[in-house]
Structures are given as C-alpha cells and as structure tokens.
Amino acid sequence: MNKNWKREYFSIPNLMGYLRIVLVPVYLWVYLTAQNSRDYYLAAGIMLVSFLTDLLDGQVARRFNMITEFGKVLDPVADKLTQGSIAISFLFRYPDLWPMVLVLVGKEAFMFVAGLCTLRMGKTIGGARWYGKVCTAVLDAVLLAILLAPELTSGWIGILNAVAIAAMVLSLAGYLNLYVRLWTGKMDG
C-alpha cells in the first residue's frame, strides 16, 4: 500500500469533505422533522457549516499543498449530495420548486454521463470551470436564502427558483459546449 495513503484520504480538506457528507443526513432529519422556525434555522445553520467548509477546503488544499486526486472526486460528490438533499427536502415545504429540482437532477445526470464518456475516451476536462463554480455559488446562495427565510412567499420562491434554474442552464450550456469540443477533437483533454 502506498505510504502516502493518509495524505491522500485524510488531509484536512478531505476531512472537511467527509464532514459535509455526514451533515447531509443530520440536516435532512432536522429539516424534515422541523416543527417551528427555530428548527428551520437550526437546519440552515447545519447547511451554513457545510457551505463554509466547502469554501475553505479548496483554499486550504491549495495554500498548504494538500490537493489530492481523491479530494478532486470527494469535493464535487459532497457538493452534489448537499445541494440535492436540500433541493429535494424543499419539495416537502415548497412544492413549486419542482422545476429547480428537475433541472438540478438533469444537469447532474448529464455531467455524470458526459464525464464517464470522456474518461472512457482517455480524456478529462481538468476540473471545474468558472461557470460551474458560479453556478454552485448561485445555487448555494438560493438554497441558503430559502433555508434562512422559512416563511417566504410564493412570489419570492418563484424568483429564487428562476435564478437557480438560469444559473444551472447557463452552466450546463458551458459544459455541453466544452464536452462537444473535447469529443470532436477541437480541444485537447
């Protein structure tokens, strides 16, 4: 076994990724059993910790040379689990958010399949692009806004729904263009 396995799997950024994954069922339990605003704020606090560790893990990894191949997989998996669980949990309280959840699931399904196809070709896109990072930031902000304001009107829910969908569609368009260029040989991977 590689003597650097501890560094690969147990670096500080990866520990933050594990924490984010562990927080998903904790959040779901708190949110889905919430009885009052205090419970919803507790759920929001749990996800705020998750979002903050997401912001910090990459910075720590780059600053202290703790970037690992495993971390490059763990971080987006933790992102998707967190975003997906929050979005799906909202459907129990805000059924009008189903378009956002549908676009999120469709976008992530495309990214998964496109990533697998690209790997089978022996290529890679080399990490997240700026539009993917912007999409994640916008989606996180929308999800956190909904969490922090448990009494939002349907009008505000509609606006936040539209903002999240727009960010995801623009990100998907950017990645679709990138994958097509990579698959057709117009870009090295």
Give the pLDDT of residue 175.
95
- Nearest residue to 45 via CA among 147, 164, 152: 147
The pLDDT of residue 3 is above 80: no
Q: Which burial class, exposed, middle or buried, applies to 115 when counting CB atoms under 10 A from its CB (0-12, 13-18, 19+)?
A: middle
CB atoms within 10 A of CB 86: 26
Residues 116-120, mean pLDDT to the nearest whole number: 89
- 4 and 78 co-located in one domain: yes
Given 93, 125, 154, which residue is the final one in a domain? Answer: 93
- 171 and 87 co-located in one domain: no
CA count, 13 A, side-chain hemisphere, 183: 13
Quote the pTM value. Answer: 0.85
- 99 and 189 co-located in one domain: yes
**Average pLDDT of the residues of the chain:** 91
Give the pLDDT of residue 127.
76
Sign, Cα dihedral of 160, 166, 167, 172? positive
pLDDT single digits (tens) 52-76: 999 899 899 989 999 888 888 899 8
Given 46, 76, 93, which residue is the final one in a domain? Answer: 93
- For the record, the structure tokens of 37 come out as 């605003």
Separation in Å, CA 70 to CA 5, 114, 127, 178:
10, 20, 13, 23
Give the pLDDT of residue 2.
58
- 128 and 163 co-located in one domain: yes
Domain that holds residue 143: 95-189
Separation in Å, CA 109 to CA 82, 115, 116, 120:
16, 10, 11, 17
Give the pLDDT of residue 1.
52
Given 65, 93, 121, which residue is the final one in a domain? Answer: 93
pLDDT single digits (tens) 122-180: 888 877 899 998 998 999 899 989 998 988 899 999 999 999 999 999 999 999 999 99
Which of the four pLDDT bands, split at 50, 70 and 90, describes residue 119?
confident
Q: Which residue has the higher pLDDT, 73 or 46?
A: 46
Residues 17-39, mean pLDDT to the nearest whole number: 96
- 85 and 129 co-located in one domain: no
Instruction: In whole angstroms, give the CA distance from residue 157 to residue 140.
Output: 15
Q: How many domains would you assign to the chain?
A: 2
Q: Which residue has the higher pLDDT, 150 or 88?
A: 88
Give the pLDDT of residue 189.
63
- 81 and 154 co-located in one domain: no
